[in-house]
Amino acid sequence: MSTKVRSARKAKGLGHLRRAEILEAAERVFLNYGYEGATIRRIAEAVGVSSTALYMHFPDKSAILVEICEVAFAKLLALNTEIAALNVDPVERVRRMLDAYMRFAFDNPNAYQVVYCSTHPAVTEAGMGESVRAMSERCYELFRAAVQAISDAGRLKCAVEDAAQVSWAACHGMVSLMIVRPGFAWSEREGLLALTLDGLLGGLVRV
């Protein structure tokens, strides 16, 4: 069941409407109504402005969605870049990247679902444009390079690509289920995250 997303209409003359405010409201609308149901009117009502005011910032809803995805990927890319530069054991580096990925999902649940869980063509990387594709590819390149370092040290039990894909997919499955099924009797989050990483790395890495 959809939740109410309407905000009180902003009075005229209260100052410049920030784009971040639109993006935050739009994330909620996209999640509640889906891409097709997320009309400019609904997004404007969620922000508390007129549709005309919203069009001053974005030409259409697809442009709003693209910027939501750009912001999300930029955050994740910054996390991966920071961790990739750390002078730590290669297994620890991969663990930190996967941990950061899962925590990013919990810290940004709306954007995460819009970007990573939707199957609508407008939300896929192909529909997002070159900027989002480039950031997404760079995120994966950094992660794969971290896995490659484990292999270079002679500690990986399988092919680099297989290990990278399995570990990413496993973490995605864990966080996406916890986000979309909040009513399930999940065990304590920190314990589940640690167990997920322990299981993955224990199966993929030689001691």
In this prediction, residue 8 carries a pLDDT of: 47
- 95 and 190 in a common domain: yes
Do 98 and 79 touch, CB atoms closer than 8 A? Answer: no
pLDDT at 15 over 60: no
Mean pLDDT computed over 155-170: 97
> What tokens does 155 get?
């500690």
CA 60/CA 74 separation, integer angstroms? 22
Instruction: Clarify whether residues 10 and 112 are in a common domain.
Output: no
* CATH code where residue 127 lies: 1.10.357.10
Among the candidates 59, 82, 105, a domain finishes at 59
Q: Say whether both 119 and 136 belong to one domain.
A: yes
d(CA 170, CA 2): 28
Which has the closest alpha carbon to 176: 119, 135, 93, 92? 119
Q: Are residues 72 and 158 in the same domain?
A: yes
Same domain, yes or no, for 95 and 146? yes
Quote the DSSP letter at residue 205: B
Domain ranges, residue 11 = 1-59
Cα dihedral 58, 60, 63, 68, rounded to 10, equals 80
Closest CA to 203 of 86, 88, 91, 83: 91
The residue type at 105: A
Arithmetic mean of pLDDT, 140-165: 97
pLDDT digits (tens, 9 = 90+) for 113-139: 877 887 766 666 556 667 888 888 899
If one counts the domains in the chain, the total is 2
Shared domain for 98 and 52, answered yes or no, is no
Q: In terms of domains, do 41 and 105 share one?
A: no
Residue 140 has pLDDT above 90, yes or no: yes
Domain CATH for 41 = 1.10.10.60
